[in-house]
Amino acid sequence: MSTDRVVLVTGGNRGIGRAIAARFVAEGYAVAVTARSGEGPEGALTVRADVTDAESLDRAYAEVEEKLGPVGIVVANAGITKDTLLLRMTEDDFDQVVSTNLGGAFRVVKRAAKGMLKARWGRVILISSVVGLYGSAGQINYSSSKSGLVGFARSLTRELGGRGITANVVAPGFIETDMTAALPEDTQADYKRSIPAGRFATADEVAGVVTWLASDDAAYISGAVIPVDGGLGMGH
Ligand code: NDP
């Protein structure tokens, strides 16, 4: 399998990451997912890794390279929330979210960059959120980690853009997953009223944008933030 057809998705055992992995499998890519628990979709290789732990990621990455070959496409998707208002937010709440969402992307992309540089080809796709640029009360840790991914992709574009490597951000709005199912029903209804599309999206609607960013058609797109949010974040 050539480098431009081998994909690694972090957090691919459920939610958006799983839908992204399934879509790549359906499009004929060789796909691996990292998971702390459970398995990725049918047809994908599952490797164990915690994105807050560089050693475990390194081991998992080496296993993917050994079984599937050099990885050309990395999707940093694993993420968590620990929502609370600033005055109640502990350092631990802040550190854990930033270390998973932003640090996790740093660790996996750093590991991936070596192979991409060698191949002079790579696609880095970071899963951010509409709240990274829009802001969200109760999510200072989460929104900071998600806007951090924008600076990350743009700096990476400036560092490696001349070597055939692109780095882009996908910023979903509200997607039907465990993360949004955890919101109280009246909060979900409030959100739906504020989304021009009037609904949440399916994870597959995010996945289609990610596979497109990995394709040849997106070769000249880098440092971009692509919203998949039904119009919620317009202008942000
Ligand atoms: P889920 O809560 O459904 O899944 C999160 C995934 O991340 C799981 O696979 C989980 O693994 C993994 N994960 C969390 N922490 C770690 C860790 N330390 N190491 C390895 N894997 C980890 O979330 P979603 O699918 O909803 O979200 C996926 C991404 O999309 C996240 O980055 C999220 O911030 C972003 N997003 C989601 C939106 C939504 O509406 N759902 C909106 C905007 C952005 P495990 O099963 O082991 O916990």
With beta carbons less than 8 A apart as the criterion, state whether 9 and 21 touch.
yes
ipTM of this complex:
0.99
Mind listing the pLDDT tens digit for each residue in 12-23? 999 999 999 999
Secondary structure tally for the chain: helices H, strands E: 9, 7
For a ligand 1 pocket test, name from 39, 179, 200, 209 the mutation site with the most ligand atoms within 8 angstroms of its C-beta. 179
Is residue 220 part of the annotated active site? The answer reads no
**Hey, which of 80, 130, 144, 176 would you mutate to test ligand 1's pocket, going by the most ligand atoms within 8 Å of its Cβ?**
80
Task: Return the residue whose CA atom lies nearest to atom 7 of ligand 1.
Answer: 78
Q: Catalogue all structural domains in the chain, each as residue range(s) with its CATH number.
A: 3-227 (3.40.50.720)
Query: What count of Cα atoms within 13 Å lies in the side-chain half-sphere of residue 213?
Result: 31
Which alpha helices (DSSP H) does the chain contain, by range? Answer: 15-26, 54-68, 91-101, 103-119, 131-134, 140-160, 178-181, 185-194, 203-214
Per-residue pLDDT at 179: 81
* Contact residues of ligand 1, CB 6 A cut-off: 10-11, 13-17, 34-38, 50-52, 77-80, 100-101, 127, 129, 172, 174-175, 177-180
Side chain identity at 165, as an amino acid letter?
Answer: I
The string of pLDDT tens digits covering residues 104-115 is: 999 999 999 999
The residue ranking higher by pLDDT, 191 or 123, is 123
Total-model pTM: 0.98
Per-residue pLDDT band at 183 (split at 50, 70, 90): confident
pLDDT interval class at 163 (50, 70, 90)? very high
